[in-house]
Amino acid sequence: MTPQPFRIAAIPADGIGQEVTAAGQKVLDAVAKNSDGAFAFEWTEFPWGSDYYAEHGVMMADDGLDQLRDFDAIYFGAVGWPSVPDHISLWGLRLAICQGFDQWANVRPVHFLPGITSPLRKADDTKLEWIVVRENSEGEYAGLGGRNLGARGHGGEVAVQSSLFTEVGCERIIRFAFDIARTRDRRKLSSVTKSNAQQYGMVLWDDVFKRVAKDYPDVETESVLVDAMAAKFVLKPEELSVVVASNLNADILSDLGSALAGSLGLASSANYNPERRFPSMFEPVHGSAPDIAGQGISNPIGAIASAGLMLEHFGLTAEAENLARAIRATTAAGVLPRDLGGSATTDEVTDAVIEFLKIGS
Instruction: Give the number of other Cβ atoms within 10 Å of residue 180's Cβ.
Output: 19
Considering only residues 248 through 307, tell me which ones interact with Mg ion, judged by CB under 5 A: 251
With beta carbons less than 8 A apart as the criterion, state whether 318 and 107 touch.
no
Residue 86 interacts with which of ligand NAI, Mg ion, none, CB < 5 to 8 Å by class: ligand NAI
Between 103 and 330, name the residue whose CB sits nearer to Mg ion.
103
Contact letters (x/-) for ligand NAI, 282-301, by CB under 6 A? Answer: -x--xxxxxxx-----xx--
Residue 141 backbone dihedrals phi, psi, to 5 degrees: -105, 30
Residue ranges of alpha helices (H) inside the chain are: 16-34, 50-56, 64-68, 86-89, 95-100, 167-182, 201-213, 226-235, 247-261, 301-313, 317-332, 346-360
Instruction: Give the number of other Cβ atoms within 10 Å of residue 5's Cβ.
Output: 13
Q: What residues contact residue 336 under an 8 Å CB cut-off, 6+ apart?
A: 115, 116, 342, 343, 344, 349
Between 301 and 320, name the residue whose CB sits nearer to ligand NAI.
301
How far is the C-alpha of 340 from the C-alpha of 33, rounded, in Å? 30
Minimum CB–partner distance for residue 249 and ligand NAI (Å): 16
Residue 16 interacts with which of ligand NAI, Mg ion, none, CB < 5 to 8 Å by class: ligand NAI
What's the number of CA atoms in the CB half-sphere (13 Å) around residue 121?
A: 3
Binding residue (CB under 6 A) for ligand NAI from 61, 90, 203, 225: 90
Residue 251 interacts with which of Mg ion, ligand NAI, none, CB < 5 to 8 Å by class: Mg ion
Minimum CB–partner distance for residue 264 and ligand NAI (Å): 5
Q: In what order do the strands lie in the sheet with 41-45?
A: 41-45, 6-13, 73-78, 280-284, 268-272, 105-111, 129-135, 242-245, 188-193, 220-225
Residues touching Mg ion, count (CB under 5 A):
1
Window contacting ligand NAI (CB under 6 A); options: 55-63, 86-94, 167-175, 272-280: 86-94
111 binds ligand NAI, rule: CB under 6 A: no
How far is the C-alpha of 249 from the C-alpha of 108, rounded, in Å? 13
Instruction: Give the number of other Cβ atoms within 10 Å of residue 274's Cβ.
Output: 15
Minimum CB–partner distance for residue 269 and Mg ion (Å): 9
Between 191 and 263, name the residue whose CB sits nearer to ligand NAI.
263
Residue 233 backbone dihedrals phi, psi, to 5 degrees: -55, -35
16 binds ligand NAI, rule: CB under 6 A: yes
Binding residue (CB under 6 A) for ligand NAI from 339, 344, 353, 357: 339
With beta carbons less than 8 A apart as the criterion, state whether 273 and 101 touch.
yes
> Is 51 strand, coil or helix?
helix
Binding residue (CB under 6 A) for ligand NAI from 42, 66, 86, 157: 86
Residues touching ligand NAI, count (CB under 6 A):
22
Instruction: Give the number of other Cβ atoms within 10 Å of residue 352's Cβ.
Output: 20
Minimum CB–partner distance for residue 31 and Mg ion (Å): 27
What are the b/e assignments for 78-88, b being 16+ CB within 10 Å? Answer: bbbbeebeeee
Residue 265 interacts with which of Mg ion, ligand NAI, none, CB < 5 to 8 Å by class: ligand NAI
Measuring CA to CA, which residue among 279, 317, 286 is closest to residue 303? 286
Between 206 and 255, name the residue whose CB sits nearer to Mg ion.
255
Between 187 and 338, name the residue whose CB sits nearer to ligand NAI.
338
Minimum CB–partner distance for residue 361 and Mg ion (Å): 33
Contact letters (x/-) for ligand NAI, 65-84, by CB under 6 A? Answer: -------------xxx----
Contact letters (x/-) for ligand NAI, 225-264, by CB under 6 A? Answer: ---------------------------------------x
Angle made by CA atoms 313, 76, 137, in degrees to the nearest 5: 75
Residues that bind ligand NAI (CB under 6 A): 16, 20, 78-80, 86, 90, 94, 264-265, 283, 286-292, 298-299, 302, 339
